[in-house]
Structure 1
Amino acid sequence: MQKGEGEGDRGDTGEARRQRNRLADAYAAIDSRERRFSPAKLAALVAVTAEAGLNAEAVLAGTNLDRAALAAPFTLTSPHQFLTAARNALRLGGAPDLGIRVGSRLHVSSYGMYGYALLCSEDMARAFDVAVRYHQLANGMLDIRWAEGDGMASWVFPDLDEFPQSDVDEPLYHFLIDMQFAVHATLIKDVMGNWCAPARAMFTQAEPPHAAALAEVLECPLAFGQPKNTLSYPAAWLTRAPQFANPMTAAQMSAHCARLLEALRWQAGITRRVFQELTRTPGRFPEIEQIAESLGMTSRTLRRKLEAEQTSYSELLTSIRKALAMDYLTTTSLSTEDIGLALGFSDAVGFRHAFKRWTGRTPNEVRRDGAAP
């Protein structure tokens, strides 16, 4: 029996699990703002859009970055900053094949030790495993996995409803999927050699205007309107060695990537620590002064640190309250008065006004529809 089924859930109520899931969704959005990654992807996006005549400052609007920062080797960026720039580029008239062209710019040298670990892998299968195991080091915008079956080793990319960021709309999603297909095809050629083109590519979307550009980059047959987004290679190739395979260096790089990943997980930014303080005790939301004291700093310093990470105490508190309010309204029969009190409001009127401001809907409308806006 796996943990989480049966004995792993003893004493754990459905309500507690649902609340954890709501808070996990809220935290995913907050976590995406932490600056921990190389600006390589952003730099590629800006370079491609500049070639298309888009203004770099307009593409970077809202990211708190400029072209000089992207050229600095020690600048750290967040997934949120990349998504903001990508949205800007699409809004400004980025071409339909923008994702492909950005993905094609990203080679193994764009990924530091992660890329080097791929290059040194003993065989193609191990390179695929390394790519999944240490994907968090690559500033990935979506989850990746691969599976073997029917004579193929296939990469599977998520559908829109499986995407970790809930505010990703369809145009941005298709941009990211196109980019991921191009990134995979490019990196695998870097690792294995130019001979290593995919056998086929399958997309859930209908055939887009830039299908010819996709075919040119992927160099394989394409199929649209499919159940899953997959990029497939012959499974017989899994035992082939990359062109720079080195078992000893591969083991060293794997250990190094494991240490980097562990450091990344423990290197909690101030945003994460404030989020943890706000969710530590159900129903209690400490003031910023209390949190600052528990973190060993003044409230002024804490505000400044949160601002540097593009958030604020009030934004974090709102995201948590909204997540919990949605859970209470859609899964319990608690009155709006009781929900308001549980969320720290002095009365139901204050809660209703705040909820309408957060979602554009009233608590009764959400409860009637039984779904988040």
Structure 2
Amino acid sequence: MNDLYPTSLRLLGHRVLLVGAGPVSERRLKALLDAGARVTVVAPDAVEGIRRLHAAGLLDWHPRPYRATDLKDTWFVHTATGDPAVDSAVASDAEKARLWCVNASNHRTSTVFTPAVARIDEVVVAVNTDGDPRRAGRIRTAIRVAAQTGLLPWRRFRPRAPQEQGTTPAGRVALVGGGPGESGLITVRGRQLLAEADVVVADRLGPRALLEELGPDVRVIEVGKAPGAHTATQDQINDLLVGQARAGNLVVRLKGGDPFVFGRGGEEAEHCRGHGLAVEVVPGVTSALSVPAAAGIPVTHRGVAAGFTVATGHDELADLPARSDHTLVLLMGVRRLAESVATLGRRGLGPDTPVAIIESGWTVDQRVTIGTLATITDQAAARRVANPAVIVIGDVVNLSTYTPDTVAVPAPAASLAV
């Protein structure tokens, strides 16, 4: 393989001769036609797929044996008749005419190898091995999976199109939901975009470990918000996204959870699109569902709860369902926990209704506190419960493996730390 010089052919508008019209030729045809080649097939007979392409006017087919004169005006030759003698004769004629020729019958004498190809977005990866196409195919597939899952450095270093005099090509913005914080819970598309990003505008609750995998030339801008301490206002974040994208960058706005679930992603998308920028939205695993799951709590469960409501601790709870068989999930609700508990009690939710608070779900600092509507406020104060935390109220809390047997008893002892 040391005598190979890997390269790529631009065949747009050029004539390609395909000798043989069996399954191998049919597989090669798609790539040749996609490349814009003018394909001529020479073979006494042809498989149905090639016949259909000929009938549709996408290629020329001469139903006869090969002739040396078929090489006239040809740029590239591929022979796959299944007859080694015929393939060798075509390859020999092509060699004399100084034409590159793939000899499918004998890879050792072929002057051209057809690689296993992966096309991911605008990137083409070609894999050659020493006459082992299945090995090449498996390596190609592994590369495609690695690229699609963000494990390869997929970032651009040249602009997408030549710059006009005095202008910079517009970039784009991707609003990526990073999930609850565990790196493995981000979506495949989200991780792929991180691998392509020029600039990452990051929240404090996203998958922070993934930022450490970025190249040193990727700019990370911290805009994390904490109760009472905002690194940047929402207006500043909106303007930052627009400014960085207008500089020609792929800007990834990495947010915790899902950008459209209390994440203000809609505002950011609207602002960017209003300034003429392309915006891609990548959903994430919302903490409203994933953090309860980290404590073994399903928000719905047959025979226990058939529905759930998600709200923030800042919402007015007066109009929400107040039944223990309807799960209530509160986000960002620690500061007003006492007020929320009192409101739900006035609405008729019983004092023995199970309540769980999951702090820092899916991280090494995860802690679960379980009690009842009557006890949870004192428990949270005693344990100094703090955000980020998700509060779950309803009978589904009893399904958690962390729930003590006495959870239904309104007593401070009914708490558990994990």
More strand by share: 2
Note whether the superposition's TM-score is higher than 0.5.
Answer: no
TM-score, L = length of structure 1: 0.24
Larger radius of gyration: 2
Larger RCO, structure (CA 8 Å, separation 6 or more): 1
